[in-house]
Every structure is written in structure tokens, then in C-alpha cells.
A and B are shown apart, each in its own frame.
Chain A
Amino acid sequence: MNLEFESQDPLVQYCLLLADNVLILGQRLGEWCGHGPTLEQDIALTNFALDFVGQSRLYYQYAAEVLGNPHSEDSLAFLRDVPAYNNIQLVEQSNRDFAQTIIRQFLFDSWHYYFLEQLQHSGDERLSAIAAKSIKEVAYHLRFSSEWTIRLGDGTEESHKKMQAALNRLWVFSQESLNPADYESELISKGIAVDLAQISAKVAQKRKAIFEEATLNMPELIPFFGNGKKGLHTEHLGFILTELQYMQRAYPGLQW
């Protein structure tokens, strides 16, 4: 079974955006497992990976129900190729070092938390239920990544330098989560998707406050031309999917 993925249903596209974001970030964090700076951080990052994979399943299951047979959470995760993936480009960026991992995490969490806060009020009951369930985990993610941003930003000269470099490097990807894709705009007008314009001030405020406390310079806003939400990705995603989908591609159609 190789699903050519063609559904244009905005609700499906939106579910995939939310699912792909957390699956790909979970996949990245899973790479840390066994390699963290201390056992405690190893456990925390693995735990976030676990939260994210769990969240992705809820969205995929919903999308699969909307699509009907033969779709399933696994067919959606394992049988779509790069152009059918809707995640923002931030989450596919590589781990590199702990600084880049933490900045990536904070840039994601500082959007994700306020996003879920609003998604709880979605006109779509299923999405609002998923948001209500996930936000408890994400509140902790945000606390963790905020604290580590501050700790490392305001730690030693070396850690400050690494954090500033990571921020400068990833900043270009920081705004995509706030730019609606066309399918998103359609659902915003129906009261289903989160109106990103409504949360952007909160996101910006949180980022500013944490970077300030971390003594990090927040770079100027840069217009972003990437469009992961519409399936345009950086070079990383192809490699991520190669690993992620290896078993399902090598041994199609089996139960595991």
C-alpha cells in the first residue's frame, strides 16, 4: 500500500499540520535519547519526545477518521512523502548541540502553548479536546525550555555565546508558526482553527521576556519565505522521513 496523498480537505490538512509538527519534533528529540548532557536532561528530552509522539497520534487518528478507509495514524505518518508533510521548518532543523535544541524547543513551545490555549476553544470538539489534553504537557515543556534558555543564556561566557549563535541561526524560522496557510485561513473563518493574529502578541511578549532575562539579543524580525505548511521543506525532512518510514517502506503492509 502506497498512499498517494491528495486530500485537499482543509480540516485534514490542518490536522496534518498539527500532527506533523509534533511528530517531527518528537523524532528529533528522540535522537537525543542516551546522549543528553546529564541523565536528568536525557530523561526530560525523551519525555518530551514521548509527549509529542502521543499528541501526534491524536491528530493523525482524527485525520484518518475524517479520511476513512484505508487511512490510519500509521499510514499518515509513514506513507506520505516530503511534499505531503505540513510541519513548519523549525521542527525539522537538526539538534546540533544542546543550545540549538533548547532554542528550537523554546521557539516552538512559546508558540505551541498559546496556540493550544486558543485551540481549546475551537468550534471543532475533537480538536478542542486534544488541545485540552496536550496543554498540560506543553505547559511543562514551556517552563523547561524557558528555564534552560535563561540558565544557559545567563550562565557562562561560553554558554551565552552558544545560545546567542543558536538563536541567530534559528530566528529565521521563528515566525512561520504565526503565518497562516490558506487551508488554515479557511478554518479560522469558520472558528475551527486558531486565529494566529490573536496570539502573536502573546508569543512575541513571552519570547522577548525570556530572551531578556537570558541576556540574549533578540534579532530583528526577518520576513520568512519558507512554507513548510504547504509542503515546502528544508533538506532535513527527507532524511528524517527516510529513518522514520524505513520499516514501513521496506516491509509494506505488515503488522508490527
Chain B
Amino acid sequence: MRTTHLEDNFQQKIDAEERIEPKDWMPETYRKTLIRQISQHAHSEIVGMLPEGNWITRAPTLRRKAALLAKVQDEAGHGLYLYCAAETLGVSRDTLLDELHTGKAKYSSIFNYPTIAWADMGAIGWLVDGAAIMNQVPLCRASYGPYARAMVRICKEESFHQRQGFEIMLTLSKGTPTQKAMAQDALNRWWWPSLMMFGPNDAESQHTEQSVRWKIKRFTNDELRQKFVDATVPQAEILGITIPDPDLKWNEERGHYDFGAINWDEFWQVVKGNGPCNQERMEARIKAHEDGEWVREAAMAYANKQSQKLTEQVA
């Protein structure tokens, strides 16, 4: 078959909502786009462990400590599923990690902001996991099978994280004036970075059109951002805290909330590496990887010795 035929078949399959599996033919750009998208997501999961892991030793109660440990462990699990999904496209986890460590690959910029208070565990669960769900639920129907299946598992856990984060915020908002102020402060700091999580406006976004055609993206950045705002405003009202946007108001005509302009200069600066924690996050990941090298080597050496022993026994 000529490539054009293959490509036509491929697109027909996608249009018919059939899944593409690892052994199926796929255009090289589809493969590359998927590797970029899945690995970026995987990297976000493991870098995202750092700002929350930061509070494990300081959680205010044993119940909260256990829940936070479980949450961060879930995120590590998400990273693992996603690296495995990426590996089905013929790229190794080592290669992907190298790309992260050298700065070639990106991860979600939100994790370059610091977690300076306990309330941030609430705000992250509520807003950041909340935004992740908006992004990810449509991906449960992504055209690439292993990715879609990974997303199904992940989304279940993310919605649990979102509820848990909201519950932390709710406890604070029902607490003393100091606690309520903590909740408000966390919302003030995490609101705008959460909106930025959906990426540049559609007019500025390079990848959207082709990705929508390939069904590895089902909604545009702006559509998802709007959904998130619409879902989150009533939740902030329940909490009795104020979203830090004077332009936020219900638009009867559109049936959506209008919201103020996002500071894209800040967004691009953080993407470029100039956020408050970019360097620390990368240093922590690289250090973990380098410190772990002797462990990985030893595990390999031991496994080799064992299989050698086995062959000798057989012979």
C-alpha cells in the first residue's frame, strides 16, 4: 500500500472512533506528537510529586498525612502508566527522562510555583487536579489505545484528589479567621497559574488543529479553560472565598462566566525556566536520578549474575 492509502485508512479508522494500537500503522508525526504529549504528561506527574511531597512531613494531622502520601503515590503511579504508554510507541523511559533532565522536554508549568503553606495542598487538589481532570477526561477517548486506557485509570484517581483537595479547603473555610485567610491566600496564588494550565489561547496554539483531527485532543485550550472556570466559580462560592479576578462575572448571553485577561508574559517566562521553582524542581529530579544510578546499576548486575547462574545450572 502506498503511504497515502495508509494515511487514508488511518484517518478513516480514527473518524470511525476505532482505536489505534501499538502494532498498527501510524503516520510518523502522529507518533511523535503522541510521544511529546504523553511524555510531557508523565513528566508533569513526577515533577508534580515534588511540591506536594514537600508537605508530607509537615501535614497537620495523621489522617491528612496518610491521605497526602496516598495522593502523591497515586501521582507516581500515573507517571508510571504514562511512561509505559509512551514506551509502546517505541521510546524508552530512559530516553524520556534524559529529555526531561536536559530541558528538551517540558512539564506542566504549574509545578514551578512554590507550596508555601498547608492550604496549598487544598488549593492544588481542588484547582490543579480539577484542571487536570478537565484536560484529561476527554483523553479517555483519545484515538491511541494505550493512552486512552491509561487515562481512564488516571481520571478516576484525579477526581478523588480533586474532592480531597476541596475538602481540605472546606475545612479551612469553616475554621478560624486565620484558617479562612489561609484558604483565601492559597486561592489567590493558585488561581491564575491554574488557568494557565490549559495552555495558550487557541489563536496562539500551534498543535491544536491537527491534534483535534487525530482525536488526541477533543477540545481546544480555550474551551477547556472556560469549562474549568464555569465549574469552579460555584465551588469557590460554597467555600466563601473570592476568586482574585475583578472581571469575573456571569454572562447571561453566552451562558458562561467572563473572566479577566491572563498574564501571558508570566506564563511564557515560567515555561522558559524563569518561574520561582524551575531550577529547584529540575535539580531535585536530576539529583534523584544521579543518586540512584548506582542502585540501578547494581540491580542490573545482580539480575545478570542470577541469569548466568541459571544458564550454568541448565548447562
Contact = CB atoms under 8 A, between A and B. Distances in A.
6 A-B pairs closest in CB distance: A37-B292, A155-B298, A159-B298, A247-B60, A256-B60, A34-B49
A73 B302 CA distance: 43
Contacts, number: 139
A118 B297 CA distance: 38
Contacts of B168: 256
B46 A39 contact: yes
Interface string A14-38: 0000000001000100110111111
Given A36-B288, A38-B296, A97-B291, A73 B58 contact: no
Interface of A: 23, 27, 30-31, 33-43, 46-47, 49-50, 53-54, 56-57, 60, 73-74, 77-78, 97-98, 150-152, 154-156, 158-159, 162, 243-244, 246-248, 251, 254-256
Interface in B144-180: 168, 171-172, 175-176, 178-179
B85 to A, nearest CB: 14
A186 to B, nearest CB: 28
Contacts of B198: none
Nearest to A240: B57
Contacts of B76: 34, 39, 42-43, 46
A34 B53 contact: yes
Contacts of A50: 66, 69-70, 73
A49 B168 CA distance: 21
B294 A43 contact: no
Given A42-B76, A50-B73, A247-B59, A37 B302 contact: no
Tell me the dominant secondary structure on chain A's binding face. helix
A53 to B, nearest CB: 5
Interface of B: 46, 49-50, 53, 56-66, 69-70, 72-73, 76-77, 79-80, 83, 118, 168, 171-172, 175-176, 178-179, 284, 287-288, 291-299, 301-302, 305
Given A30-B69, A246-B58, A98 B83 contact: no
A151 B171 contact: no
Contact of A154 (B175, B297, B302): B302
Nearest to B42: A39
B284 A37 contact: no
Contacts of A43: 73, 76-77, 80
Contact of A38 (B57, B64, B179, B292): B292
B239 to A, nearest CB: 15
Contact of A40 (B66, B80, B175, B301): B80
Nearest to A27: B57
A56 B293 CA distance: 33
